[in-house]
Structure 1
Amino acid sequence: MAKLLIAAALLYILWRWLQPKKKAPAAPPPRLGESEARAILGVDAAAGPAEIRAAHRRLVSALHPDKGGSAELTRRINLARDTLLRG
């Protein structure tokens, strides 16, 4: 009887260990205001989509992590572009 209880306890422990782990909820994406996004890209309020894309391309080509820039800077530049082109 004791062997059966030990086997059942071990099976239960193994079963619990193999269960998928619960993941933490993802953080909401950061938000930028329109004026902050324009300041990051260096465009004025009258800039159209073509100017925004050109400024983004210029900044990313100079500040990309593969060219010595930082990943955080590139993330903020992409976020600024997305903010301005969405709204």
Structure 2
Amino acid sequence: MLRLIALAVLLSVACRWIFGRWPWEYLRARDTRSQALFRARKLLGVRKGAKARDIRDAHRRMTAMIHPDRGGTNAAMQDLNAARDLLLGDLPHEPPERPE
């Protein structure tokens, strides 16, 4: 029994050393697109059916608060930009209006 535990520990350490991740990290569920969209909407504070203008306005408001020039971090800005891009990319594309 002790040999089995030692072997499991050795294999775990080898997996971490070779692949850079612990074996149990492979068992966690990956984020699905719907979860990513939910987090993006929560970060920007927009509802599910938000239009492109609502998303851009929310992004502009949040940028004013967390921009690195105002004491925020680059990582927070990157998350905010990624959320905006994800939500805008998920919107159905509408044809541009043609002038009459």
Separation in 1 of the partners of 2:37 and 2:79?
Answer: 13
TM-score, normalising length: structure 2: 0.54
| Secondary structure of 1:33's aligned partner | helix
Alignment map for 1:60-75 (pairs within 5 Å): 60-75=63-78
CA distance in 2, matches of 1:58, 1:36: 17
Does 2:56 match 1:53?
yes
Structure 2 distance, partners of 1:59, 1:36, is 15
Distance 2:71 2:40 in 1: 22
Structure showing greater radius of gyration is 1
> Are residues 1:40 and 2:43 paired?
yes
Q: C-alpha separation between the residues in 2 aligned to 1:62 and 1:33?
A: 22
The structure, 1 or 2, with the larger RCO (C-alpha pairs under 8 Å, 6+ apart) is: 1
Structure 1: unaligned runs, 5 residues or longer:
1-30
Give the CA deviation at 1:46. 1.6
In structure 1, how many angstroms separate the alpha carbons of the residues matched to 2:36 and 2:66?
A: 22
Q: After superposition, give the CA deviation of every residue in 1:21-51 in whole Å (9 maximum; x if it has no partner).
A: xxxxxxxxxx871111101101010211000
Matched residue type, 1:59: M
- How far apart, in 2, do the equivalents of 1:35 and 1:58 lie? 19
Corresponding pairs, count? 57
In the other structure, the counterpart of 1:22 is none
TM-score by length of 1: 0.62
Q: What is the CA-CA distance between 1:61 and the residue it aligns to?
A: 1.1
- In structure 1, give the amino acid aligned to 2:76: L
